[in-house]
Chain A
Amino acid sequence: MYQYTEFDKQFVRSRASQFRDQLERWQAGKLAEEEFRPLRLQNGWYVQRFAPMLRIAVPYGELNSAQLRVLATIARDYDHKEDNDLSKANPGLSDLKSLPSRCAHFTTRQNVQFNWIPLDKSADVMDLLASVNMHGIQTSGNCIRNTTSDERAGVAIDEVADPRPLAEIIRQWSTLHPEFAFLPRKFKIAITGATDDRAATAWHDVGLHVLKNEAGEIGFRVMVGGGMGRTPVVGTVIREFLPWNQILNYLEAVVRVYNRWGRRDNIYKARIKILVKAEGQRYIDEVEAEYQQILTHDGAPHTISQQELDRVSASFVVPASRVGTLPLSAMPIPTIDPADTNYPRWLARNVAPHKNPALRCVTLSFKRLGYSPGDATGEQLDIAADLADRYSAGEARVTHDQNLVLPWVRADELPALYAEAHAAGLAKANVRLLTDMIVCPGGDFCALANARSLPISEAISQRYQDLDELHDLGEIDVHMSGCINSCGHHHSAHIGILGVDKDGQEWYQVTLGGSDGSDLSGAAGAGKVVGPSFAAAEVPEVIEAVLDTYRSVRQSAGDKAETFIDTLRRVGHDPFKQAANAARTSTGRAAPQAATAA
C-alpha cells in the first residue's frame, strides 16, 4: 500500500481542521446554508432523507487494517439512526426500524459510506478518519472524484503493469486542484493495468488502460466521455498511446477544455460525455492543441519524473511477509468438513489466482441474507481487519462489486481463512453469481431515488439461496439502481433493474444485455429495456422467468454451460422479453413505458 509521507499526513489533518472551521462558521451563522453546502459536499457530507450521508474516499480501493478498524469504530460509535430526527420518514417506504444502521456501506466506486452520522458530529469523525490518513475530500461535488482501479491491481495474473503507483500520482494531482474544484459536473477517473477490465473504465469520464507499446514502453490508452445516468454513453478512445509520464499534463488538457466548454445551463447535459458527443473530433482536437500548449509553452511542469514514479512505486512492493518461498504455516490447518459443499465452491468462486503462485486473492462476500448488499457492521469490519492482518499482510481492497478482497493470502492458509470467514458469515461462495448483485441504497436512504432497491434485492436473494441452483445459473451480473442516476450501474448489467416513479408509486424497469466491459461480458454497452415497467411484487417473478428461459435455451460445451450473457446474445432478446412479460400481473400491464435514454 502507498505509505503516506509526513506531507501527506499533514495535508489530511489540515483538511480536517479546515472542515471544522467551516462547520463552526456555519453553526455560528457566519456561513450561509447555500455556501456551506458545496464545502461540506467536497468533504463527502451529503444531506439525505433522514440524516447526512458521509462518503469516505478509498483511493483505488486500498485499505489497511488500521483503517478498517477506524471504520468499525465509526460504525459502532457514530452511525446511529436514533441520533437523528426521523420525523421526515415517508410512510410509503420501508419500516424505519428495519433500515440498517451502525454499519458501513461499500460502493461501486470503491468508497465507503455511512448513512446516519449527525452533522454536528461530522468534524469529530473527520478527525478520527485523519488519524489513519482518511478523509472525504472530493467524494462529492463537481470536481475530480476518487480515482478507482482494479481490485486485483498489482496481483492480477493478466496485468501488463501495476496501475496503483500511477493511480496514486493521479490522486495527488487531482486533490484540491485549484482550477478544477468547480467543474460543470462531477468527474470520475478509473484506471486498470490488466487485460480483463474489472474497473468498468469505459463507463467513466476518463478511463485509462495501462499498456505496453511495441517498443516495450509503458503508456495509456485514454478514453473520455463515458457515463451512465439518463444518457448512458461508452467512452471514446481519444489517445491510443500516451507515454505514462505525460498523464498529468494530458489530464490537465482534458479537464481544462471541459471546464471551459462543458454545458452549465442544464444539469442533465453538463457531464463531459455530452460535450464529447456533441463536439466529437473538435473536442479531441482541442484537447490535443491544449496539451501541445502545456508541453511547449507551459514547460509541461507535471511531467512525472522516473524518480517520482520510483518513490511512489516503492510503496507498492510486495509486502515483506509475502516475498519468496513460503514455509508451511505453524498454525494447524483446520480440517474442512467433507460434507461442506460450500468450501470447494468458495475455492472456485471467491479465490482468484495471483502473480505469485504461492499466493491467492480472496474475496470476502458481503452479499448475504439479512444484510443489505455491501453493508458491513462494526463487528464485521473488525473481523475483516483481523483477517487482513493474519492472512493478507494487513491489506484489503474494496471492490467495484461491493465486496472486500484480501490480496495477499497464502495458498496453504486458505482452509484457515475459510474457517474464520465462514464463521463470520463472509464466505458465501457467490462471487459474480446472481446473488452478488450490485445495489444502490435506493429510496430507503437516498433523497434522489424514485424507488427502493433494498427490499427488491432481498426478495431476489431470498429466492436464490440454493447454492446448487446458483452455481448452475453461473456467472451473471444483476445490477439495480433506485433511480436514473444509476449509482447501482443497472445499464451495465446482464439483467438491470431501475426504479422509476409513476404517480407517486414505485415501479421497476428491467433491462437485458448490458456490459461493464469485462471479459465475461464483452465490449461495454447499455442493456435494452424489456418493456413497460413492473410492479415491485412482479420483479422476482420476472427475474425467475428470464432465468428459466436461459436454462431452457442455453447450450453446453463439454461440462461448461453457456453463460447467460452469451445465450442472450446468441438467441436474441425476444424469448426473454416474452417470458418477462408473461410474468406480469394486471398491475404492471397498464403502466406506460419510460425511456432509458434522452
Chain B
Amino acid sequence: MKLIAFAAHTAPAEGQKDAISLANDVDPRTVPLEGVSRIDLNFPKFTDGRAFSQAFLLRRRLGFQGEIRATGDVLIDQLVQMQRSGFDVAVLREGVDASAAQRQFDRYKGFYQGDAVHVVPHFAEPASTLGPDAAAYAGELERQHSA
C-alpha cells in the first residue's frame, strides 16, 4: 500500500473526469466510472467505517481497476484493513507518525476471512496450511465412528 503525506495530496478538482472524490454516504454503484482512474474515499472520522464498504464494492463488485485513495482521518492502525477492503493508497492525516506503519503489514501471517483483494477465505485455502491438528482430529473422529 502506498502512503502519501498530507502535504503531497491534492484533492480532485471540481469537474475533473479522471479523478473523483466520493462522500461516504454515496452508493458507488450509482456513479459512472468510465474514464476514472482514481477515486478518493473519505473518512470524516476514523470511527466512521462506511468507506470500507464503498471500497469493497468498487474493487470487488464493480471491478474498478484504478486507484482507490483513503483520505480524511486516516490512522496507521487502519492501513491493513484499508488495504484488505480495496484501498491501495492512503493519505496520512497531518502529523501522523508513519514510522510504525510497516510493522502493521508485517504482523499477521494471514486472516480468516477473504477480502476485496485476497478473495479466498483461510478455510478454502489448500489443506497443507491447516496444520497437524486437523489431521489429528479427523483421526479422532474416525476412531469415534468406528468405536
Considering the chains assembled together, what is the distance between the CA atoms of A313 and B137 in angstroms? 9
Q: A35-B46, A172-B123, A260-B50 are in contact. Are A178 and B80 (CB under 8 A)?
A: yes
Q: B123 near A30 (CB under 8 angstroms)?
A: no
For window 118-136 of chain B, which residues contact chain A by CB distance below 8 Å?
Answer: 119-124, 127, 129-134, 136
Considering the chains assembled together, what is the distance between the CA atoms of A293 and B63 in angstroms? 13
Q: A259-B50, A305-B124 are in contact. Are A315 and B108 (CB under 8 A)?
A: no
Asked whether any CB of chain B lies closer than 8 Å to the CB of A229, the reply is: no
Q: A173-B112, A178-B84 are in contact. Are A301 and B49 (CB under 8 A)?
A: no
List the 8 closest pairs (A to B, CB-CB), nearest first. Answer: A182-B49, A178-B84, A178-B81, A314-B137, A6-B131, A172-B112, A5-B131, A314-B141
Asked whether any CB of chain B lies closer than 8 Å to the CB of A179, the reply is: yes
Asked whether any CB of chain B lies closer than 8 Å to the CB of A177, the reply is: yes
Q: Once A and B bind, how many residue pairs between them come within 8 Å at the CB atom?
A: 145
Q: Give the size category of A's interface with B.
A: 35 or more
Q: Mark A144-185, 1 if CB is under 8 A from B, else 0.
A: 000000000000000000000000010011111111111100
Known: A14-B107, A38-B47, A302-B121. 12 other contacts (CB 8 A): A5-B134, A14-B109, A17-B107, A21-B103, A30-B100, A178-B84, A178-B85, A179-B52, A183-B49, A310-B138, A311-B137, A314-B141
Asked whether any CB of chain A lies closer than 8 Å to the CB of B110, the reply is: yes
Residue on A nearest B52 in the bound complex, by CB: A179
Q: A317 near B144 (CB under 8 angstroms)?
A: yes
Q: B77 near A35 (CB under 8 angstroms)?
A: yes
Q: A314 near B134 (CB under 8 angstroms)?
A: yes
B27 to chain A, nearest CB (A): 7
Asked whether any CB of chain B lies closer than 8 Å to the CB of A256, the reply is: yes
* B-to-A contact residues, CB < 8 Å: 27, 46-50, 52-53, 56, 60-61, 75, 77-78, 80-82, 84-85, 97, 100, 103-104, 107-116, 119-124, 127, 129-134, 136-138, 140-141, 143-144, 147
Residues from chain A with a CB closer than 8 A to the CB of B116 are 178-179
Q: B138 near A311 (CB under 8 angstroms)?
A: yes
Considering the chains assembled together, what is the distance between the CA atoms of A302 and B115 in angstroms? 10
Q: A178 near B107 (CB under 8 angstroms)?
A: no
Asked whether any CB of chain B lies closer than 8 Å to the CB of A298, the reply is: yes
Q: B123 near A323 (CB under 8 angstroms)?
A: no
Residues from chain A with a CB closer than 8 A to the CB of B75 are 35
Considering the chains assembled together, what is the distance between the CA atoms of A313 and B119 in angstroms? 24
A496 to chain B, nearest CB (A): 32
Q: A17-B107, A35-B77, A320-B140 are in contact. Are A6 and B46 (CB under 8 A)?
A: no
